[in-house]
Amino acid sequence: MDEASKPTSDAAAQTQWEISAEIGAIGADYGQQLARGAAPEIQPRVDYPPYRSSVLRHPTKSLHHADPETIELFSPAFGHHDVNVLESDLTIQHNGEPQGERIRVQGRVLDGNGRPVAGQLVEIWQANAAGRYIHKRDQHPAPIDPNFTGVGRCITGADGSYAFTTIKPGAYPWKNHLNAWRPAHIHFSLFGTDFTQRIVTQMYFPGDQLFPLDPIYQSIVDQDARDRLVAVYDHEVTSPEWSLGYNWDIVLTGSKRTWTENEALGAEGDDHE
Ligand SMILES: [Fe+2]
């Protein structure tokens, strides 16, 4: 093979251990910052080199400020009657039962003062039990489940509560580096009251062994902020002979807010990562 035809180095050639070393170094540096009295970072770093594509996607210019009232002229409108209560059950969208571990995920949407956020459109999307998205860009060799699409939505109640019945998603590989796997997660979108308020985030499951290895999860360098993305197993939410239960509250503002992807900052949005 002559020099010109050799494959050029690319990010996917890097091993998990090289990525983990980078994650470790950034984490140690953050620990020193905290020890020197720096404020905790509660949002993800948009330029987080172990998450390879973040380096190319993060903004280099200040954000464009939109006029919220102008945006309102173009934003979609929906009413409570537009969202059927059955849309919160992802296990009944086809003729048969999907494969996998049936779960209920419930919680409350709260503002920074702990007040419930009622009437909020909550949308979720996720991989199936085998870690495969229905999305055509997901071509890794895990089976598609004909009885599982992986999308659902609901509107929060007067107490800010939401609940979904679904299947526990599987971990899946992605192309960040060699042998890169995402921890099991469910993508969440909260619409707010207008387009400019929409936020997107991910919910994880407790005890996942992939947490320390995942550059997306680790791009939130603060452990407390990361912990707020992890649901809590709740035996009171578990139904006998039916489903396991998890609780996960979403806090929209304040120092305890849930980490969210800022689409304007070019972080992961509707991508299936
Ligand atoms: Fe995903």
Which residue from 53, 26, 81 is spatially nearest to 220, judged by alpha carbons? Answer: 26
Give the residue numbers annotated as catalytic, written as ranges.
Answer: 133, 172, 182, 185, 187
Gap from CA of 185 to ligand 1 centroid (Å): 6
User: In percent, how much of the chain has pLDDT > 90?
Assistant: 63
Q: State the distance from the centre of ligand 1 to the C-alpha of 270, rounded, in angstroms.
A: 9
Residue 32 Cα to ligand 1 midpoint, Å, equals 31
pLDDT band at residue 137 under the 50/70/90 scheme: confident
**246 C-alpha to ligand 1 centroid (Å):** 18
Concatenated DSSP letters of 50-106: TSHHHHHHS-SSPPPPP-HHHHHTTS----GGGS-GGGGBTTSSSSSPPSS-EEEEE
Average the pLDDT over 4-12 and give the result. Answer: 49
pLDDT band at 6 (very low <50, low <70, confident <90, very high): very low
More confident residue, 210 or 191: 210
Is the model's pLDDT at 220 over the cut of 80? yes
pLDDT score recorded for residue 87 = 96
* Inter-residue contact 15 to 21 (CB < 8 Å): no
Which pTM value belongs to this model? 0.85
Mean of per-residue pLDDT scores for the chain? 86
19 CA to centre of ligand 1 in angstroms: 19
Q: Answer for the pair 258, 251: CB distance below 8 angstroms, yes or no.
A: yes
Q: What is the mean pLDDT of residues 32-39?
A: 96
Least confident of 61-65, 161-165, 185-189, 247-251: 61-65
What distance in Å separates the CA atoms of residue 269 and residue 117, rounded to the nearest whole number?
Answer: 22
Output the CA 85–ligand 1 centroid distance in Å. Answer: 24
